[in-house]
Structure 1
Amino acid sequence: MKTIPRVDFSRLRVSVRHIAIACSAILPGLCSSGQAQILADFTDGNTSALVDGYPGATGSGWASGWTSNKTSSANVTLTNSASSASPLAGGGNYLSVQVSNASTASDYGGAVTRTFDSAVVDPSTPWDLYFDFRGDSVIPAVSADTNSDYAIFGSISNSAAQLDANTTWGLTIRTASGATRWRYYSGSTLVDTGITYTTGTVYRVGVFVDPQAKTYSFMINDGATVYESPTGIPFRNASVGVNKVFFSAKDDKDHTGSVNFSLDHVRIEASGPILAEGFPEPIVPNINGAALHTNTYIDFTSTANDPAMNQYANAGYRFARFGVPWFDVERSAGSYNLTSPQSYIPGYQQLVEMLASKGIRPIIFVGLGNTVYGTDTTNGGIQTDAQRQGFHDYCKALAYAFRDFNPIFEIWNEPNLSGFWVPASNVDEYMALVPYAVSGLREGWHLGRESQNLPNPLVIAPGVANAWARGNFIDKCFDRGLLDLVDGVSIHPYSNYSSDPAKRVPEALASPISLLKTELAARGKPNFPIVLTEWGFSTDRNDYGVSTDTHAKFAVRQILMGYYTGLTINCVYSLDDARNVDDNTSDKHYGLFTTSGANFAKTLVAKPAVAKVAALNAALDGYRYVQKVSLGNTAPLNNAKDWCLVFWNPTALDADGTPGNAKAVLWTTETSNLTGPYQLAFDFRGDSVIPAVSADTNSNYAIFGSLVENASGLDANTTWGLGATYSGGALQWRYYNGSTLTTTGVTFVPGTVYHIVVNVDPAASTYSFTIAGGSTNYTSPTGIPFRATGTAQQRVFFGARDDKDHPGAMTFSVDNLAMQLSGGSTTPPVGPLASFSDGLTNAATDGFPGMAGNRWLTPWAQNSGSAANIAITSAITSTAPLNSGGQYLQINVSNSSTASDYAGAIARSFDTLIGVQKTSPDLKPLLGLDTSVTTPFSDDPVVVDLDGYTAP
């Protein structure tokens, strides 16, 4: 078997891990951290009564105040005080420490130490320490070497005062071979960093401790350069759970005077996830992501949306693409606000930190205009050198602010559309901007850093709203040298609005990616990274919208096509619906999550796609795509529409325990619209007495189909329809036979539970039904003609008409609704269910109004014949259950008019599209397997194990 190594991208280090290490006054206001923090800034001065004093008190994450340790109480004097006489970076109080050794026989030291609360930051899991440190004494080479030093360390000994065998991790400033430098312990070996110690310099230090691996790393910023240690430095003492930090000085016996140091801005926090650098390996689920909106009033960082963002990350999405618009972060020239901007109120900094905390790597598109620099609008194109320089500086600020989260940067969003490059798209103007953007991003990325192997940031472009074609915008960008300026090409190859239905599927991606790869190879870039930052399918109710069930299948197939076509990163559009409601606005319903609520209080609720994607990524976690298999053309198989992709994991065990395992994913693009007969069954109870106000009354109950979505009662648009109405003084179940209202002879009794089954044949425009309940059961004639004929048959209505002379409301109850759809190759027939088990909610399918999914195209809607007069109220209750007990839906329709009779109805649309059911041929001879494998499949991908597969 061929071995393909797996790279675990959840634990690769970033070039510089945290903003705090590199922060300086160069770009003020861009430094913060998103983790829970324990702080010591000594703002409370010399006191034991307040937490942030010296020695301080217990609280705010500290399990103790500061204490002093000495290696020799008889000889060492430790003098400490909170002072503001010579402040460190940021000014204000700091801790001044003086260690003096009176012995002339031995070298002794002293340390200040403090214990942090394990319940706030768990010392058995990775944690980080930050602090500002200044050595205020010259450390002389009294002899060739000296034992005077400074040290910062962890220790298993609570009384430690200097580096020794109890040290876990440890840094020190020490003279050796005549050179006073920063050094550290790697195991028991003292290693030279090469950083020369300068008395009086403020060093900003970060130490990253991993007790689980018993390793650490660190960074030191002297204000001019940043030193990055190797990762995985082994502990000197391999103990875990140490929740104390030590700051010490040792005074050489031959050294006159004391050894002094100053300390400030101590911060301890739990480590966030370490995000990968570079482009990801194409191993499931590394390349997956989605675009999100920062312009639709959603606070992704809110507590309410934390479960949804966890769902997103746990489903296997590793990237999030979004914009940080120039106009929003620089509203005053040269001043950048990433934490409290006007448009995205939750803050871009907070958004990036939240994503990083969940292991989601940002793809940030830089762009859009800025009227501060004279662009026509906030979407204005960049036309002048002054605007380009301003854009360069904005890019520099963003790269500097976000670099520690290792983002990928994309230059602009859809510059080929005039709506995003006002007044008109212009490839020459765009390409004149690209070098400025790249230069700014690189300058901000490297600012204040000095690392021998620090790569440039990854930059992709142009993010156009289509794929490549000869002579189009992206092709002209290639002609003007784009491929030599950026690290990857980004496109938005939407096909969901194609006039060809065969192209309105994820598999249509194969052709444009193949063409783009051919063009890149022809231009001397055969393996140039291709990043999709948008493409998707909307769940709107227009002609090209899809059901949430189809959307879920497409989301899985989008991921599969990403691996098949060899994408570098595959971001679908979009993470969130861009609007709460308005089902007929297509560009607002591409999301993996729906939204509801007020601006910046919107909550995200997962569509079925999220669970389906999670299941796929869990099944293929750690696997890599290796080949496509032809299933042949023996009917009903169709090689042009059937897919079988093989994925391989060299570390997973085969059925016989051999390392290396393969899985196949099978599906078809072939679907059938269930235009054949369907059956609707439900329990119904009329809870109101329908009085004969006169010989006849217009109060009634009705169950029907209609050609219009907003029908509220039986009318000329009714296809099939039955109801409980008065006629000739008799309250009976009646039905429409064509346009004739026909009696069943079955008396309607309020409070009786009726089980009704309706069989509808849209192709024949006929129906029949049965009614069971009360004293008489009824079976209708077959072939009852529709009242109105047409193709819109995907909606079921339950309603009531309230006579103008009827006091009170018309109340009815519904439960145990089940549909069976036929007309395709389905065994058994499929259909939606409604038993209202989820209660009153829009966040679950089986609630009211519910949400789309499980073959429901829509939630329940409320239709009113007169919005001014009809009130429809709903309740989920179990107080008077229908046949099966449990929760049911109760509806009240009330007409306040005394002049007219009006009706109200609840309605819901169901999905008639289904994949054709097929069975694969035996995969054993096709793939050389040890055992036979056949599986049924449809348009919903299925994963099967392949025993004995040998990777090509």
Structure 2
Amino acid sequence: MNIGQIRELGVNAFRDDFPWSDFEQPGGRIGFTPQLGRLDAQIKSAVARPFLILAFGHHLVPNSMPPTTDEARRRFAAYASAAAHAVAPQHPVFELWNEWNLAAKKDAAFSVDNYLALAKIVQPAVKQAAPGAPFVVGAIGDDPGWNWTEQMLQSGILQYADGVSIHLYNFCMGPAKRNSAEVVDRLNTFHRLVSEASGSPTFPIYVTEAGWPTANNKCGVSEQAQADNMAQLILWASTASSWLKGIWLYELKDSGTNPSDLEHNFGLYHFDNSPKRAACAVRDAWAFVRSSTSAESKQLSGGVTAIIASTPAGRRMAIWSGDPNQRFAVRLRSNAADATYSLPCEAAAQPASGAWMPVSGTPLLVSTNNAAAPDFDIRPER
């Protein structure tokens, strides 16, 4: 079912755990096991590029959660090497651990120094097994004040990395910040920190988790808000392609059926595999900008955002209101007979020329064959 859903979305990568404890069996046998059957099938299907998390300790290896001794690190590197070799033909990307910094709040062994020591031995092992596979560090969970992040970036770890990754969530912030704009603001701050530490404004950054749960509790959002936030984030990402190498939305399908449990309700699909609104919103937003060669973001009046992208087929413009409670309408100033507009999840595009088009939290998608970026009139709607 996962393979079909990934294909339905049209996305070109998926992220998944590749746990050491499931890959190395007692007696030192290393390879895909029944526990990894779903992952093995997904990778071999070639439905999308695998982004794999090399992580977690092994119950048979002392001092491995996290690896803090030379022997534990050596054993982890051996697993990472074998894992990389096993999937190298599928052009994977590898990420070292998952949210190491969050574990550091309760366990001093999850220090920056120990993370750096692990990266130093794992990176060459992975590169030898899969020379073309990017090796990504970080997978940084929530880090208010950026203290752990800055320590990691200043440790010298970037010399062992092809990129750095971060997780960005805001679902328990106040309702006014529970949106894509807040994620973009924090991502831009992270980009500045990485640029300063690496000396390069284009050092690769991966957002390996972002999402909004549709649970019916105080931190949940509506299915429409989830869809709008995800579509906006994908559309904005087209403006940052020089340094932003991907966004992985958490998660493909709900992990449970309790409507009030946050962790059960992050999916683009319900637990029964029926799609939420987010599924078609992600599909259509990605299809809209996938072929863009360049893009820029502009702020229009009233807190309206416009993404203007160039594609081989002409201009693409995505327009939305930063406040879902404020609605607007826009109209092309010039007559463009070929221009059309639609909304995510709508089947048919409509002629845009002369029409007042609706702008809300749901991105308005405007296409024209004209190479020049069109101007708009904008008015508030009641």
Contact 1:668/1:938 (<8 A) preserved: yes
Residue 427 of structure 1 deviates from its aligned partner by 1.4
- Number of aligned positions between the proteins: 355
Amino acid in structure 1 at the alignment position of 2:329: T
Question: Which aligned pairs between 1:781-820 and structure 2 lie closer than 5 A?
Answer: none
Contact 1:414/1:464 (<8 A) preserved: yes
Would you say 1:390 and 2:78 are equivalent positions? no
Aligned to 1:917: 327
Residue 546 of structure 1 deviates from its aligned partner by 1.2
- Distance change >3 Å, CA 504–CA 372, structure 1 → 2: same
Report the Cα distance in structure 1 between the residues aligned to 2:321 and 2:102, rounded to whole angstroms: 34
Match of 1:648 among 304, 310, 322: 310
Match of 2:295 among 617, 626, 633: 626
Residue 314 of structure 1 deviates from its aligned partner by 3.2
- Distance change >3 Å, CA 544–CA 919, structure 1 → 2: same
Amino acid in structure 1 at the alignment position of 2:194: L
- Distance change >3 Å, CA 323–CA 398, structure 1 → 2: same
Contact 2:329/2:356 (<8 A) preserved: yes
Higher relative contact order (CA 8 A, sep 6+): 2
Aligned to 1:283: none
Q: Which has the larger radius of gyration?
A: 1
Would you say 1:414 and 2:99 are equivalent positions? yes
Residue 467 of structure 1 deviates from its aligned partner by 5.9
Report the Cα distance in structure 2 between the residues aligned to 1:512 and 1:373, rounded to whole angstroms: 38
Report the Cα distance in structure 2 between the residues aligned to 1:503 and 1:620, rounded to whole angstroms: 25
Aligned to 2:316: 663
Contact 1:933/1:946 (<8 A) preserved: no
Report the Cα distance in structure 2 between the residues aligned to 1:525 and 1:545, rounded to whole angstroms: 37
Would you say 1:352 and 2:43 are equivalent positions? yes
Aligned to 1:558: 233
Gaps of 5+ in 1: 1-304, 446-454, 597-603, 633-637, 653-660, 673-915
Residue 942 of structure 1 deviates from its aligned partner by 1.2
Match of 1:547 among 222, 226, 251: 222
Task: Determine which structure has the larger strand proportion and give its number.
Answer: 1
Task: Determine which structure has the larger helix proportion and give its number.
Answer: 2
Report the Cα distance in structure 1 between the residues aligned to 2:287 and 2:19, rounded to whole angstroms: 35
Match of 1:488 among 128, 138, 163: 163
Report the Cα distance in structure 1 between the residues aligned to 2:200 and 2:101, rounded to whole angstroms: 23
Contact 2:330/2:358 (<8 A) preserved: yes
Aligned to 1:463: 139
Contact 1:490/1:531 (<8 A) preserved: yes
Residue 465 of structure 1 deviates from its aligned partner by 0.5
Q: Deviations over 1:94-124 (max 9, x none)?
A: xxxxxxxxxxxxxxxxxxxxxxxxxxxxxxx
Residue 577 of structure 1 deviates from its aligned partner by 1.2
Contact 2:136/2:161 (<8 A) preserved: yes
Report the Cα distance in structure 1 between the residues aligned to 2:7 and 2:169, rounded to whole angstroms: 24
- Distance change >3 Å, CA 516–CA 617, structure 1 → 2: closer
TM-score w.r.t. length of structure 1:
0.36
Would you say 1:574 and 2:256 are equivalent positions? no
Match of 2:357 among 920, 930, 935: 935
Residue 939 of structure 1 deviates from its aligned partner by 0.9
Aligned to 1:950: 372
Aligned to 2:58: 370
Aligned to 2:124: 439
Residue 411 of structure 1 deviates from its aligned partner by 0.3
Would you say 1:607 and 2:292 are equivalent positions? no
SS at 1:920 equivalent: strand
Residue 364 of structure 1 deviates from its aligned partner by 0.3
Residue 563 of structure 1 deviates from its aligned partner by 2.0
TM-score w.r.t. length of structure 2:
0.85
Residue 365 of structure 1 deviates from its aligned partner by 0.6
Gaps of 5+ in 2: 340-352, 375-382
Would you say 1:404 and 2:89 are equivalent positions? yes
Aligned to 1:509: 183
Contact 1:578/1:589 (<8 A) preserved: yes
Residue 628 of structure 1 deviates from its aligned partner by 2.1
Amino acid in structure 1 at the alignment position of 2:186: P
Report the Cα distance in structure 2 between the residues aligned to 1:940 and 1:670, rounded to whole angstroms: 10
Question: Which aligned pairs between 1:45-444 and structure 2 lie closer than 5 A?
Answer: 305=1, 309-341=3-35, 344=36, 346-354=37-45, 356=46, 358=47, 360-375=48-63, 380-418=65-103, 425-444=110-129
Report the Cα distance in structure 1 between the residues aligned to 2:355 and 2:121, rounded to whole angstroms: 56
Contact 1:331/1:372 (<8 A) preserved: no
Aligned to 1:794: none
Residue 529 of structure 1 deviates from its aligned partner by 0.7
Task: Quote the RMSD (CA, aligned, Å).
Answer: 2.6
- Distance change >3 Å, CA 422–CA 519, structure 1 → 2: closer
- Distance change >3 Å, CA 621–CA 512, structure 1 → 2: closer
Contact 1:381/1:423 (<8 A) preserved: no
Contact 1:382/1:388 (<8 A) preserved: yes
Residue 350 of structure 1 deviates from its aligned partner by 2.4
